[in-house]
């Protein structure tokens, strides 16, 4: 027998003590099963608790396999029950790692002795991660108790459906159901059993007692008696249990070193090494090891160098025997030990337990203050970064501390501590995001794959995708295909979590490219089809790559499936060209003939004519050109289509030698096109003549660049160099990279090095420099390579150099190079410091400390150009309104109108009406700013000026005029509060103007009544789903609005939530708003910003403080800081301290 669950012979019972797990078997030694590629970090935990061998369990394994593959309507659950020490965990961990084909196991092992793994929170965290991965949705961000269970229930079905689509069956596996500590924590406790699904196959195990928790419904499948299977224990296993329990009692009675070891390992949750225990007890390491490994081998087990209690039941008994007071004493000893290492500055030899095991102990014990102190220890996190290569663990600690702190209820320092944690989390996130993804590939290239993967996962968003794919590409190069596939699967999950937008497009491009290289074309196609504006470019690149790999049919299917006419035509033409150049002209002709008549047919035929002519098929080329030109005329209605058609035709005519006709077509697009086409086709003299005749210098340089590229590719380097002189490296149309490649191929390393300043300007040029770096190291000129890389300051070149040094055997040097490069990128840029300092100044100024804000603004000085929007806000808060106006004009199109609206409001408050007149008199001033000026004047009592401004606005923007008119009317009637609510829900919030939608609905409601407003809203819900929630709330349909908001994704929430919350709070629906946001924690920063709005508006100071803490917990501190200071002014001291720290950093 080779595997568990296959036929075999009978034999004796054995016990596997090395892993601390009793295993019963039949004497056949079964090797560790072959592991399938998995990515969830939890699987490493499963590997650790699984036995190295399993014996005498063929019958049970066969029954489990049959359960997973069953299609009959039998029980949906199988519940294996036995007393402790019967081998339940050994059996199920083995089965989880080696399931039958077509089965996808999602496991959870209730394991209190290995940390916080014994309650419903741990179950949801672990299972959510795995289900999200299988469903391809990405893990919902920033989950809390209010939302995690709802997401779990939804993902059960989503993951099962995703598995079914792949021909797999999802099976949930939960071991140790009886050890669920959550059922004993209070009247509101929730059990793991109650969260198990009704409609999935589930394998569970547990002891014969206790009974099921009371919160498991009567109709739950676990209550079906037919689901129960009794696991027979081994007599030998029982004997070992008796012996282990006897040892435990002896330890408790004996005292001395053995008792101390028991107390420490029980309190710490395992994970302490012999050296750790010796330091804690004052004993000798040899004596500690001797006690653990010899006399008490049944009580203690090891995981690598670390020790823990050998069985879950022993851990439970030890905790009961010691009691909470004694456990607290031992935890206090561990805490004092941690404090001692903190005072030492966390040196290189710091114990692994204190860096990675201590915080889980604090979480499990509910020691919130110590947990917060550890999460705020920046020096410890620096050591953790060095040890692990990423900030992933540190960020997890901070988030755990934030959750525990907010859950602890109101306290004097609630907001202050939340603020400190938010600052630290922001710093960790910033420095992780600053690391270029290519550095992850660098660590993989020098043999540090685990560090590479950890670094990639810590980056977040599209950077994580890029980094994972970069690491996967390196692994593919090294032949590690299985692990590479796993990383690309991770990248796909992270890509789909982005949903849409530029970040998704870039991530999908990268992931699809790797899937194509691996040969998973269907997965690549699924990603490409969801890309937005970048889809044509990505799809065509994919089509060309597939054709190069000989996958013509797949490439054609991808091209023909695109909904865009132009993309479909050009991509199909790419396939036809590839077929012709691949010697398959007959197939190309067949494709071209069956195309729909019109523009697509014309493009394909015209481009085919060029390829046919180059292949020597003159007659067929002429026929294709004639047919294609005729059909292209049918697509000349749309400007873009017309330009594309004329360009394709001009290229084909030049290829045919019909230069006058080509000029005629090209001139219909622009004066430069004819010269560019001539250059692309290698018509040197004609191209130069055309460029000199009719083009300005910039366009002429482009023509020379194209010609130089063609010449260099043909080996005519001298002529190419002569043409490329004066062509900039960033707009060279491939000239300099082609020249560099040609020189490198001929051994001209010095000549290539001389072109470095031009080559570094483009990705293709940097590839050439990378090849140069590798060649220099290979020839023994590593110092020259180092100098070149240092001058270029390009991360990809540093990675190339590190790889070259590693290949040359200079491993330590390669790793030090990457370490230094990573350190450089983790340091904040000057622009980052300016932005953060400006946001601090804004918040401090809004809190009434204008002098402090002004001093921080002064520290920014002329660097305000590095982050003009943030600087403008800071200047407004500091009372520097004219400076703020100057910054606002430099802030970019998205920020100009909101910032200038704040500027005119500030001018009105200062009675600087002449400045308002000057600003709104500029032709470039947006109508929104003019409306804001009218409202601002009205609110400070100058209604005549407001009406005058409004009269100018009404000719330009009806909606802005209506909004301003409403506010003027309310202000005139003395209803200043409603006027302010229409502008923004809180005074001093900044940027909180009512949306165009709410203005429109409010105007209709005032002028036509509620019925008219409701008719408007109902008519636009489907047309504008992003605005639906806000629109529904504006007509008091609050429940419907909330239900719609719960269906939003993170991107949509950024758009929809501000308006919705504004409408709810306008109606003083505080509880409804709070309940809604409690369901939206998974939206992350969007929910945090909404909590900030609620905090400022809520009339109850205690609840407002809690909402401010939640805003900091889920949001970005730059957005939520003003609200935090508004409700908790005692936090101002810490904010000012952070501002001074940033100022000092900026002054360095």
Q: Are residues 311 and 180 part of one domain?
A: no
Give 463-507 pLDDT, tens digit per residue: 889 999 999 999 998 888 888 888 898 888 888 877 777 888 899
Q: Are residues 441 and 429 part of one domain?
A: no
Q: Does residue 498 lie in a domain region?
A: yes
pLDDT at 9 over 50: no
Provide the pLDDT for residue 146.
Answer: 45
Provide the pLDDT for residue 791.
Answer: 92
Q: Which helix (H) or strand (E) holds 44?
A: helix 42-49
pLDDT mean over 779-804: 93
pLDDT band at 238; cut points 50, 70, 90: low
Structural domain ending residue among the three candidates 398, 433, 468: 433
Q: Are residues 146 and 103 part of one domain?
A: yes
pLDDT band at 889; cut points 50, 70, 90: very high
Provide the pLDDT for residue 697.
Answer: 57
Q: Are residues 416 and 489 part of one domain?
A: no
Q: Are residues 243 and 332 part of one domain?
A: yes
Provide the pLDDT for residue 599.
Answer: 56
Q: List the helix and strand counts (H, then E) for the chain.
A: 61, 8
pLDDT band at 292; cut points 50, 70, 90: confident
In percent, the amount of the chain with pLDDT more than 90 equals: 35
Give 68-104 pLDDT, tens digit per residue: 988 776 678 999 998 877 888 889 999 999 999 999 9
Least trusted range by pLDDT, from 147-156, 884-893, 1093-1102: 147-156
- CATH number where 303 lies: 1.10.10
In percent, the amount of the chain with pLDDT more than 70 equals: 82
Give the integer Cα–Cα distance in Å for 163 and 151: 18
pLDDT band at 249; cut points 50, 70, 90: confident
Q: Does residue 425 lie in a domain region?
A: yes
pLDDT band at 608; cut points 50, 70, 90: confident
Provide the pLDDT for residue 1025.
Answer: 61
Residue 135, both tokens:
């469903």
Least trusted range by pLDDT, from 840-849, 955-964, 1048-1057: 955-964
Q: Are residues 218 and 147 part of one domain?
A: yes
Q: Does residue 78 lie in a domain region?
A: yes
Positive or negative: CA dihedral 1050, 1055, 1061, 1063 = negative
16 DSSP assignment: B
pLDDT at 24 over 90: no
Provide the pLDDT for residue 297.
Answer: 54
pLDDT band at 1044; cut points 50, 70, 90: confident
pLDDT mean over 575-587: 84
| Residue of 1044 and 231 predicted with greater confidence | 231
C-alpha R_g of the chain: 34
User: 1111: Cβ–Cβ under 8 A, 6 or more apart, which residues?
Assistant: 1088, 1089, 1091, 1092, 1094, 1095, 1120, 1123, 1124
pLDDT at 877 over 90: yes
Provide the pLDDT for residue 12.
Answer: 30
Structural domain ending residue among the three candidates 533, 566, 585: 533
Angle between helices 521-528 and 502-518 (to 10 degrees): 170
Residue 307's SS3 state is strand
Q: Does residue 240 lie in a domain region?
A: yes
Provide the pLDDT for residue 181.
Answer: 64
| Residue of 929 and 967 predicted with greater confidence | 929
Q: Are residues 408 and 449 part of one domain?
A: no
Q: Which helix (H) or strand (E) holds 103?
A: strand 103-109
Closest CA to 118 of 20, 45, 215, 40: 45
pLDDT at 955 over 60: no
Q: Does residue 214 lie in a domain region?
A: yes
pLDDT at 141 over 60: no
Residue 306's SS3 state is strand
Closest CA to 1096 of 1132, 1121, 1131: 1121
Residue 633, both tokens:
């005329």
Closest CA to 464 of 424, 429, 423: 429
Q: Are residues 201 and 315 part of one domain?
A: no
Q: Does residue 120 lie in a domain region?
A: yes
Q: Are residues 453 and 417 part of one domain?
A: no
Q: Are residues 228 and 267 part of one domain?
A: no
Provide the pLDDT for residue 424.
Answer: 95
Q: Does residue 902 lie in a domain region?
A: no
How many other C-beta atoms can be found within 10 angstroms of the C-beta atom of residue 298? 22
pLDDT at 26 over 90: no
Q: Does residue 442 lie in a domain region?
A: yes
Give the integer Cα–Cα distance in Å for 694 and 672: 8
User: 1048: Cβ–Cβ under 8 A, 6 or more apart, which residues?
Assistant: 1029, 1056, 1057, 1080, 1083
Mean pLDDT, all residues of the chain: 81
pLDDT at 753 over 50: yes
3-state secondary structure labels for all residues of 121-181: HHHHHHHHHHHHHHHCCCCCCCCCCCCHHHHHHHHHHHHHHHHHHCCCEEEEEEECHHHCH
Structural domain ending residue among the three candidates 233, 261, 289: 233
- CATH number where 87 lies: 3.40.50
pLDDT at 590 over 60: yes
Provide the pLDDT for residue 978.
Answer: 55
Provide the pLDDT for residue 43.
Answer: 82
Provide the pLDDT for residue 847.
Answer: 93
Domain tally, the chain: 4
CA of 103: how far to CAs of 164, 281, 472, in Å? Answer: 10, 48, 25
Q: Are residues 389 and 264 part of one domain?
A: no
What does 873-934 look like in DSSP terms, one character per residue?
HHHHHTT-HHHHHHHHHTS-HHHHHHHHHHHHHHHHHTT-HHHHHHHHTSTTS-HHHHHHHH
Provide the pLDDT for residue 17.
Answer: 32
Candidate ranges 457-466, 1075-1084, 1099-1108; pick with highest mean pLDDT: 1099-1108
Q: Residue 412: give the domain boundaries.
A: 366-433
Give 642-685 pLDDT, tens digit per residue: 777 888 888 888 888 998 888 888 887 777 778 778 887 888 78
- Confirm if 571 and 540 have CB atoms less than 8 A apart: yes
Give 987-1018 pLDDT, tens digit per residue: 333 333 344 555 566 556 555 556 666 776 66
Provide the pLDDT for residue 110.
Answer: 84
Give 692-738 pLDDT, tens digit per residue: 776 665 567 777 788 888 888 888 888 888 888 877 756 667 888 99
Provide the pLDDT for residue 25.
Answer: 29
pLDDT at 290 over 70: yes
Give the integer Cα–Cα distance in Å for 1109 and 1103: 10
Q: Are residues 400 and 466 part of one domain?
A: no
Give 145-170 pLDDT, tens digit per residue: 445 666 788 788 888 988 888 888 99
pLDDT band at 51; cut points 50, 70, 90: confident
pLDDT band at 773; cut points 50, 70, 90: very high
């Amino acid at each position: 027998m080779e595997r568990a669950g296959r036929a075999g012979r009978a034999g004796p019972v054995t016990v596997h003590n090395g892993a601390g797990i009793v295993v019963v078997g039949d004497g056949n030694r079964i090797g560790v099963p072959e592991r399938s590629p998995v990515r969830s970090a939890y699987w490493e935990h499963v590997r650790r608790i699984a036995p190295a061998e399993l014996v005498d369990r063929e019958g049970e394994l066969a029954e489990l396999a049959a359960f997973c593959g069953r299609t009959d309507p039998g029980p949906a659950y199988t519940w294996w029950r036995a007393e402790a020490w019967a081998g339940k965990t050994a059996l199920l961990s083995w089965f989880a790692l080696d399931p039958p084909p077509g089965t996808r196991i999602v496991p959870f092992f209730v394991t209190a002795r290995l940390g916080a793994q014994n309650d419903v929170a741990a179950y949801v965290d672990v299972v959510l991660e795995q289900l999200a991965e299988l469903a391809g949705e990405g893990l919902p961000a920033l989950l809390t108790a209010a939302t995690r269970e709802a997401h779990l229930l939804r993902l059960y079905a989503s993951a099962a459906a995703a598995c079914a689509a792949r021909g797999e069956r999802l099976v949930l596996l939960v071991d140790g159901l009886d050890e669920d500590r959550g059922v004993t924590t209070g009247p509101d406790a929730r059990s793991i059993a109650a969260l198990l699904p009704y409609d999935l196959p589930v394998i569970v195990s547990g002891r014969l007692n206790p009974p099921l928790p009371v919160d498991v419904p009567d109709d739950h499948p676990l209550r079906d008696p037919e689901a129960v299977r009794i696991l027979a224990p081994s007599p030998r296993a029982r004997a070992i249990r008796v012996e282990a329990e006897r040892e435990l009692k002896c330890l408790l009675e004996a005292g001395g070193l053995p008792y101390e070891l028991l107390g420490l390992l029980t309190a710490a949750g395992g994970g302490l090494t012999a050296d750790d225990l010796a330091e804690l007890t004052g004993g000798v390491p040899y004596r500690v090891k001797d006690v653990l490994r010899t006399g008490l081998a049944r009580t203690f087990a090891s995981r690598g160098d670390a020790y823990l209690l050998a069985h879950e039941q022993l851990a439970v008994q030890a905790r009961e025997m010691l009691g909470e007071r004694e456990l607290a004493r031992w935890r206090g000893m561990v805490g004092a030990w941690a404090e001692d290492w903190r005072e030492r500055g966390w040196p290189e030899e710091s114990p692994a337990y204190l860096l990675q095991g201590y915080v889980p102990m604090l979480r499990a014990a509910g020691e919130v203050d110590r947990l917060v102190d550890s999460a705020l220890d920046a020096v410890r996190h620096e050591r953790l970064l060095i040890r692990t290569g990423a900030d992933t663990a540190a960020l997890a600690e901070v988030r755990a501390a934030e959750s525990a702190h907010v859950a602890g209820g109101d306290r004097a320092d609630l907001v202050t501590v939340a603020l400190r944690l938010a600052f630290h989390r922001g710093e960790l996130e910033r420095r992780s995001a600053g690391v270029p993804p290519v550095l992850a590939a660098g660590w993989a290239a020098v043999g540090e794959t685990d560090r590479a993967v950890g670094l990639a996962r810590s980056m977040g968003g599209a950077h994580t995708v890029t980094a994972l794919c970069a690491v996967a590409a390196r692994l593919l190069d090294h032949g590690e295909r299985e692990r590479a596939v796993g990383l690309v699967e991770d990248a796909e999950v992270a890509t789909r979590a982005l949903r849409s937008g530029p970040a998704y497009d870039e991530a999908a491009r990268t992931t699809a490219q790797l899937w194509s290289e691996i040969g998973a074309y269907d997965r690549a196609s699924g990603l490409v089809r969801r890309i937005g504006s970048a889809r044509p470019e990505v799809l065509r690149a994919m089509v060309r790559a597939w054709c190069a790999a000989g996958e013509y049919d797949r490439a054609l299917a991808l091209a023909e499936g695109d909904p865009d006419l132009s993309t479909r035509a050009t991509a199909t033409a790419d396939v036809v060209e590839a077929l012709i150049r691949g010697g398959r002209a007959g197939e190309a002709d067949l494709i071209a003939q069956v195309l729909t008549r019109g523009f697509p047919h014309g493009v394909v035929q015209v481009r085919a004519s060029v390829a046919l002519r180059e292949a020597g098929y003159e007659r067929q080329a002429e026929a294709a050109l004639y047919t294609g030109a005729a059909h292209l005329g049918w697509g000349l209605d749309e400007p873009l289509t017309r330009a594309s058609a004329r360009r394709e035709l001009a290229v084909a005519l030049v290829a045919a030698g019909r230069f006058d006709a080509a000029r005629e077509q090209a001139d219909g697009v622009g004066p430069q096109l004819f010269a560019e086409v001539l250059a692309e086709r290698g018509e040197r003299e004609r191209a130069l003549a055309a460029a000199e005749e009719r083009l300005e210098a910039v366009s002429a340089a482009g023509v020379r660049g194209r010609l130089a590229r063609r010449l260099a590719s043909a080996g005519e380097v001298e002529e190419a160099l002569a043409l490329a002189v004066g062509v900039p490296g960033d707009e060279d149309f491939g000239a300099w990279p082609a020249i560099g490649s040609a020189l490198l191929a001929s051994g001209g390393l010095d000549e290539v090095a001389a072109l470095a300043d031009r080559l570094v300007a483009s990705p293709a040029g940097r590839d050439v420099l990378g090849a140069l770096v590798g060649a220099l190291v290979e020839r023994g000129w590593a110092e020259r390579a180092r100098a070149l890389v240092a001058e270029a300051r390009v991360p990809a070149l540093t990675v190339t150099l590190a790889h070259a040094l590693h290949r040359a055997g200079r491993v330590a040097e390669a790793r030090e190079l990457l370490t230094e490069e990573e350190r450089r990128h983790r340091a904040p840029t000057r622009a980052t410091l300016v932005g953060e300092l400006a946001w601090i100044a804004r918040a401090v100024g809004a809190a009434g400390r204008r002098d402090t804000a002004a001093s921080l603004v002064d520290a920014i000085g002329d660097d305000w150009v590095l982050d003009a929007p943030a600087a403008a806000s800071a200047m407004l808060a500091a009372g520097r309104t004219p400076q703020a106006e100057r910054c606002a004009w430099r802030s970019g199109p998205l920020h100009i109108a909101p910032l200038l609206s704040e500027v005119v409001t500030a001018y009105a408050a200062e009675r600087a009406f002449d400045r308002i007149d000057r600003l709104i008199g500029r032709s470039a001033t947006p109508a929104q700013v003019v409306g804001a000026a009218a409202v601002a004047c009205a609110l400070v009592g100058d209604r005549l000026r407001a009406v005058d401004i409004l009269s100018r606005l009404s000719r330009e923007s009806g909606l802005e005029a209506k909004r301003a008119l409403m506010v003027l009317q309310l202000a005139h009637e003395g209803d200043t509060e409603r006027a302010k609510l229409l502008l923004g829900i809180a005074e001093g919030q900044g940027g909180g103007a009512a949306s165009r939608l709410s203005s429109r609905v409010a105007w209709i409601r005032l002028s036509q009544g509620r019925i008219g407003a409701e008719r408007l809203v109902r008519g636009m819900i489907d047309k504008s789903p992003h605005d639906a929630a806000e629109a529904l709330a504006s007509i008091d349909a609050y429940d419907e609005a909330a239900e719609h908001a719960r269906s939003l994704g993170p991107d949509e929430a950024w758009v929809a939530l501000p308006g919705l919350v504004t409408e709810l709070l306008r109606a003083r629906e505080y509880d409804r708003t709070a309940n809604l946001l409690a369901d939206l924690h998974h939206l992350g920063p969007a929910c945090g910003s909404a909590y900030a709005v609620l905090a400022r508006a809520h009339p109850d100071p205690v609840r407002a403080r809690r909402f401010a803490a939640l805003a900091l917990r889920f949001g970005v501190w730059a957005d939520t800081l003003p609200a935090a200071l508004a409700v908790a002014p005692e936090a101002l001291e810490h904010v000012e301290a952070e501002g001074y720290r940033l100022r000092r950093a900026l002054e360095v």
